[in-house]
C-alpha cells in the first residue's frame, strides 16, 4: 500500500511538471535589429500554452517589459495572432520608442495570473 501511495504521489508531481512545461515562451524575434526613435518596432513571439480563450488576459497574458535608456519601466501587453491551445501559437508586440538610446526588454508569460 505504501508503494502505491508513493507511486501516485510521484505521478501527480510528474504530471504537474509536464503541465507547467507546456506553458512556455519558445522564442521572440524582432523584425528589425535597429529601430529609430518614433518608428514602429515589432516582435514575433512563439509560445506553447494551454488556453480556452487567448484574448482573455485573466487566463493567459504575455507582456513585454521594457526599460528605457533613462530607466523608465514600461509594461506592454502583447497580442495573440494565431495558433492552437497546447501547440505553438504566434503573438505580437509592437512598440514605438519615445527616447533615443538602447532599450532593454524581457517577456513575461502569465497563466491564471501566475507567472510561468
Q: What is the pLDDT of residue 33?
A: 86
Strand ranges inside the chain, DSSP E: 24-30, 40-48, 60-67, 73-77, 79-83, 88-96, 104-111, 114-115
11 Cβ contact list (under 8 Å, min separation 6): none
Residue listed under C-alpha cell 507547467: 20
Domain hosting residue 65, numbered range: 2-115
Instruction: Please compute Rg for the chain using Cα positions.
Output: 18
Region 84-101: mean pLDDT is: 96
User: What's the total number of domains in the chain?
Assistant: 1
Region 64-73: mean pLDDT is: 98
Q: What is the pLDDT of residues 15-59, one digit of tens each?
A: 444 444 489 999 999 998 888 999 999 999 999 999 999 999 999
Alpha-carbon distance 49 to 19, whole Å? 9
Q: Find, among 85, 84, 81, 112, the residue nearest to 94 by Cα.
A: 81
Q: What is the pTM of this model?
A: 0.77
Alpha-carbon distance 67 to 78, whole Å? 16
> Residue 36 is part of a domain; what is its CATH number?
2.60.40.10
Amino acid at each position: 500500500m505504501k508503494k502505491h501511495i508513493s507511486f501516485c504521489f510521484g505521478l501527480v508531481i510528474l504530471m504537474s511538471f509536464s503541465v507547467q512545461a507546456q506553458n512556455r515562451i519558445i522564442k521572440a524575434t524582432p523584425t528589425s535589429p535597429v529601430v529609430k526613435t518614433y518608428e514602429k518596432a515589432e516582435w514575433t513571439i512563439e509560445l506553447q500554452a494551454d488556453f480556452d480563450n487567448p484574448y482573455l488576459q485573466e487566463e493567459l497574458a504575455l507582456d513585454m517589459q521594457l526599460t528605457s535608456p533613462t530607466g523608465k519601466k514600461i509594461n506592454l501587453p502583447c497580442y495573440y495572432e494565431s495558433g492552437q491551445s497546447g501547440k505553438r501559437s504566434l503573438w505580437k508586440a509592437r512598440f514605438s520608442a519615445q527616447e533615443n538610446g538602447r532599450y532593454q526588454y524581457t517577456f513575461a508569460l502569465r497563466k491564471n495570473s501566475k507567472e510561468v
